[in-house]
Chains A and B, each alone.
Chain A
Amino acid sequence: MKHIGRKIYLALIFILMYAPIATLVVLSFNSSKTRAKWGGFTLKWYSSMLADSSIMNALYTTLIIAFLSALIATVIGTAASVGIHSMQAKLKTFFITVTNIPMLNADIVTGISLMLLFIACRFTLGFATILIAHITFNIPYVIMSVLPKLRQVNHSTYEAALDLGASRTYAFRKVIFPDILPGVLSGFLLAFTMSLDDFIITHFTKGPGVDTLSTKIYSEVRKGIKPEMYALSTLLFVSVLVLMMLANSAPKKDESGRIKRSSFIAKRVVPIVLILVFVGGGFLSHIISNANSSSEQLVVYNWGEYIDPEVIEMFQEETGIQVTYEEYETNEIMYPKVQSGAIAYDVVCPSDYMIERMLQNDLLAEINWDNVPNIKNIDEAYMEQSKSFDPENKYSVPYCFGTVGILYNKTMVDEPITSWDVLWDEKYKDNILMQDSVRDAFAVALKRNGDSINSTDVTELQQATQDLIEQKPLVQAYVVDQVRDKMIGNEAAIGVIYSGEAIYTQRENSDLEYVIPEEGSNVWIDSWVIPKNAKNKENAEEFLNFLCRPEIALMNFDYITYSTPNKAGRELIEDDDIRNSRIAFPTAEDLKDCETFKFLGDEADAYYNELWNKVKAS
């Protein structure tokens, strides 16, 4: 009985540990694209993965970095081990502790520290910085596997070699090194595996256009999981598993304690030869693929899912300019990267208030409008609107815009909504959804009182705070993305939402109506700008001119679904409902009292946050 209990327990642990991975592996063979149903066995995801050049590039980058970092770390780590081994006890303990820190440290701390160091040293983030970072965290693993081997070495053998006339290096090479070789090889395999495995440190130290498998998977997964990623993850898991098993199993020994030559070859030599073959192939394909790449470059830094990928393809084909494309999730992630100058982006797409901040910090280059004649396609109204952050229209090309308004369910609300007041109506208690973000929430309260959404007046802000506290019992939830899903699912009657989302929700649930309240609201604009340290400014201007073409603007509108300020592009929209939608294309009347957010300065930011915390805590 006892034994059965043990076995069940063991089985349970293994199931818990491996069920998620097993799921992934199974899905990688599922011919149906949705996770929910089994569509039969297929290898098509593997073949389409192999056909995807960006995945293959990431694979080779991964392998080359893993190989080089493991190799260099093995050399440094072995030398370090020899040094540490011959130290006195106290110093030895100290150094072992110190060298173990990168291994014990949280990856995120190591990653951020390395990134800060690289930026401080004015290194350009890219392949080299990833490599240096990987070498750094690989060294302790090598030391960890070499040092015990050195302890086993009979020190007399080294002295015996010297005694027999060998020089120090000859003695090390002929006598010590063969004894520690198994440890050195284990260290190499371990380092290779760790490098293959790493995501966090790579994420922080990589530059645009360089991706390892893990960062590639991460950026793909953010856009929704593709089955190719299941296949890729499965391959990654299997190769790490195999390497770990090889690295951890000691070669077999025969009766006299000697390592069997055949076992040594199987456990140490074969995996390293395999690695060499992979990496060699990687190098070759890299060289070949780089050979036909153009010398004209463009580094684009954009929001995730904020351009039709085909547009980039078309641009590359037409101009011969090689585009390196990199994405960010928020303005706040983008800003420090541009500010630090660690990566020279050629063109970036921040929001209004962030453009203002970048201008204040002198990070932007003036656009030469001679190179962007298509700017004429942009609606004058939005050029005008842009002046709130770019007063002379010198630095920015409007790309997408939208408003913040109220989305309501016609079947759950008595009369058409026109005012922000409805969010304070006792009737809709527990049926109201608010945005869970400080500026959006305060914009609602401030506009309701007829104040500016950029107010820094203490009395106005105190009043707004008071109002928000008062409103809190009526609010069902403070959320961000869920407004969309909850409104579609009839879970709430009224929600504060972005116009871009509103169009989508209406398609899903025709009972929903979007309105910009009469008191006015926030209108936001995301515009392209060129950082001052851009290396390919003319290419950037050519790209902006390309994006301002009506047919390209239309392609992007179809893909992103956010409103385009491109008047000529809007006219190409075939669907009348959409072309004339007041949600997508509000009239000047609608926008009468709308403002864009401004950067208020650090002090005001802190004050807003303090008040918002007061609201949340009440």
Chain B
Amino acid sequence: MSNTLIDFVNISKSFGNQLILDEFNLSVKENEFLTLLGPSGCGKTTTLRILGGFETPDKGQVIFDGTDITALPPNKRNLNTVFQKYALFTHMSIAENIAFGLKISGKSQAYIDDKIKYALKLVNLDGYENRRPDSLSGGQQQRIAIARAIVNEPKVLLLDEPLGALDLKLRQDMSYELIRLKNELGITFIYVTHDQEEALTMSDTIVVMNQGYIQQMGSPEDIYNEPQNAFVADFIGESNIIPSLMLEDKLVEIQGAKFPCVDTGFGTNKPVDVVIRPEDIDLVKPEDGTIEGVVTHLIFKGVHYEMEVMANGFEWLVHSTDMVAVGERVGIHVDPFDIQIMNKPESEDDEAVGVNE
């Protein structure tokens, strides 16, 4: 897991006046499941298309396995793509679809037949050889698209929001399927999505992007638990982002109340943003909490209750398995290690670039 396979070096790309990627740098390791996560327009799909060869960067290089492939056309690259809308060839049978790439590379018919069988088995669609793409469900079509890509034995599989068009249940099933596939094939997956849950479930590494810049890169746990700026915190999961004052190391003033924390090095009396995940807030008796508030909303969510607590003029979002009725007074307690301190961005550009990077 330590060899670098792909390197994006100082990639810039704009469409018309719109700058999509600006001096973008990223390394992908061999055998990694890397996810590019971000809202639409953040540059994640462009990054993937540059790697696939469908877009040429204005500046910069793409290094693949030690060679510069920036100018190489898509058909000469040792990687395959699974498209969002499946992109199956509707006038061909499933077998013909899967055999498409193999025929071009001049493989023998016996080899091709074997590969088709193997690939269909891999995606759990044995016996579908002679079906037509139109007669398959969305999930099945996506599996065929994957089968069509992997029979060519690429070193990297690019997946462009492959689950976007599927319904929730199918999406979850396919997520597990993809993890299994990746483990069986032992190749690199680069996955593009705007769905944080998909990203958290499947990835080894998540790259959070916004406006053409990488906001944060790390394991799902890192990204979730220690978001480095408000954008990441806000984009990944739900969170309370509260403008606060860092009084000194390990002590922060939130909405007028002093909370002990574990962060150091922000200086003294410095304005910061504090991130607290809703499930990290404990509701206690009013007198036991750091600050006191009143429950204003209550929704049953299945696994937990979602509550809003008004305290010192800020509405706190709280997830808890214990219900507190609307109107009741409660105390709010947060363990020091559940408080995440972030520098305040000083301008909108700062926000995009991510000052903590």
Which A residues lie at the B interface, using CB under 8 A?
A: 154, 156-157, 159-167, 170, 174-175, 178-179, 256-258
A157 CA / B145 CA spacing, docked (Å): 11
Kindly list 10 other residue pairs between chains A and B, CB separation below 8 angstroms, not including A160-B83, A160-B145. A154-B87, A156-B87, A160-B81, A162-B73, A162-B75, A163-B52, A163-B53, A163-B81, A164-B101, A258-B134
- CB-defined contacts of A175 to chain B, threshold 8 Å: 89
Contact A156–B132 (Cβ < 8 Å): no
- CB-defined contacts of B2 to chain A, threshold 8 Å: none
- How many positions in chain B have a CB within 8 Å of any CB in the partner chain? 28
Mask for B120-162, Cβ within 8 A of A = 1, else 0? 0000000000001011000000000100110010000000000
User: Can you report 23 A-B residue pairs in the complex whose CB atoms are below 8 A from each other?
Assistant: A154-B85, A156-B83, A156-B84, A157-B87, A159-B54, A159-B81, A159-B87, A162-B53, A162-B75, A163-B53, A163-B74, A163-B81, A164-B100, A164-B148, A164-B152, A166-B101, A174-B100, A178-B89, A179-B91, A256-B135, A257-B134, A258-B132, A258-B134
> What is the minimal beta-carbon distance from B338 to any residue of chain A, in angstroms?
44
- For chain B, residues 69 to 103, give those with C-beta under 8 angstroms from any C-beta of chain A: 73-75, 80-81, 83-91, 100-101
Q: For residue A253, which residue of chain B has the nearest CB?
A: B134
- CB-defined contacts of A178 to chain B, threshold 8 Å: 89, 91
Quick check: is B105 within 8 A (CB to CB) of the other chain? yes
A165 CA / B101 CA spacing, docked (Å): 6
Q: For residue B98, which residue of chain A has the nearest CB?
A: A164
> What is the minimal beta-carbon distance from B161 to any residue of chain A, in angstroms?
12
The residue from A157, A163, A256 contacting B134, defined by CB atoms under 8 A apart:
A256
- CB-defined contacts of B148 to chain A, threshold 8 Å: 160, 164
Asked whether A165 and B75 contact (CB < 8 A) given A159-B54, A160-B81, the answer is yes
- CB-defined contacts of A170 to chain B, threshold 8 Å: 104
Contact B87–A160 (Cβ < 8 Å): yes
Residue in A154, A156, A159, A164 whose Cβ sees the most chain B Cβ within 10 Å:
A164
> What is the minimal beta-carbon distance from B133 to any residue of chain A, in angstroms?
9
> What is the minimal beta-carbon distance from B132 to any residue of chain A, in angstroms?
6
A471 CA / B104 CA spacing, docked (Å): 90
Contact B84–A157 (Cβ < 8 Å): no
- CB-defined contacts of B90 to chain A, threshold 8 Å: 157, 179, 258
> What is the minimal beta-carbon distance from A517 to any residue of chain B, in angstroms?
83
**A-B interface, 7 closest residue pairs, ranked by CB to CB distance from nearest:** A164-B101, A156-B87, A160-B87, A162-B74, A156-B83, A165-B104, A178-B91
- CB-defined contacts of B145 to chain A, threshold 8 Å: 160
- CB-defined contacts of B83 to chain A, threshold 8 Å: 156, 159-160
Q: For residue B91, which residue of chain A has the nearest CB?
A: A178
Q: For residue B148, which residue of chain A has the nearest CB?
A: A164
- CB-defined contacts of B132 to chain A, threshold 8 Å: 256, 258
Mask for B27-56, Cβ within 8 A of A = 1, else 0? 000000000000000000000000011100
Contact A164–B134 (Cβ < 8 Å): no
> What is the minimal beta-carbon distance from B83 to any residue of chain A, in angstroms?
4
A452 CA / B81 CA spacing, docked (Å): 92
- CB-defined contacts of B91 to chain A, threshold 8 Å: 178-179
- CB-defined contacts of A164 to chain B, threshold 8 Å: 75, 80, 100-101, 104, 148-149, 152
Contact B89–A157 (Cβ < 8 Å): yes
Contact B134–A166 (Cβ < 8 Å): no
Contact B87–A166 (Cβ < 8 Å): no
- CB-defined contacts of B80 to chain A, threshold 8 Å: 163-164
- CB-defined contacts of B84 to chain A, threshold 8 Å: 156
- CB-defined contacts of B105 to chain A, threshold 8 Å: 165
A159 CA / B81 CA spacing, docked (Å): 9
- CB-defined contacts of A161 to chain B, threshold 8 Å: 89, 100
Contact A156–B73 (Cβ < 8 Å): no
- CB-defined contacts of A166 to chain B, threshold 8 Å: 75, 100-101, 104
Contact A157–B88 (Cβ < 8 Å): yes
A17 CA / B91 CA spacing, docked (Å): 41
- CB-defined contacts of A163 to chain B, threshold 8 Å: 52-53, 74-75, 80-81, 149
> What is the minimal beta-carbon distance from B50 to any residue of chain A, in angstroms?
13
- CB-defined contacts of A159 to chain B, threshold 8 Å: 52, 54, 74, 81, 83, 87
A174 CA / B97 CA spacing, docked (Å): 11
Q: For residue A157, which residue of chain B has the nearest CB?
A: B87
Q: For residue B101, which residue of chain A has the nearest CB?
A: A164
A165 CA / B80 CA spacing, docked (Å): 9
Q: For residue B100, which residue of chain A has the nearest CB?
A: A164
A161 CA / B104 CA spacing, docked (Å): 10
A165 CA / B74 CA spacing, docked (Å): 7
Residue in A160, A178, A257 whose Cβ sees the most chain B Cβ within 10 Å:
A160
> What is the minimal beta-carbon distance from A292 to any residue of chain B, in angstroms?
49
- For chain B, residues 193 to 210, give those with C-beta under 8 angstroms from any C-beta of chain A: none
A241 CA / B305 CA spacing, docked (Å): 71
A170 CA / B90 CA spacing, docked (Å): 16
Contact B87–A165 (Cβ < 8 Å): no
Q: For residue B85, which residue of chain A has the nearest CB?
A: A156
> What is the minimal beta-carbon distance from A149 to any residue of chain B, in angstroms?
13
A166 CA / B148 CA spacing, docked (Å): 13
> What is the minimal beta-carbon distance from A169 to any residue of chain B, in angstroms?
11
> What is the minimal beta-carbon distance from B47 to any residue of chain A, in angstroms?
16
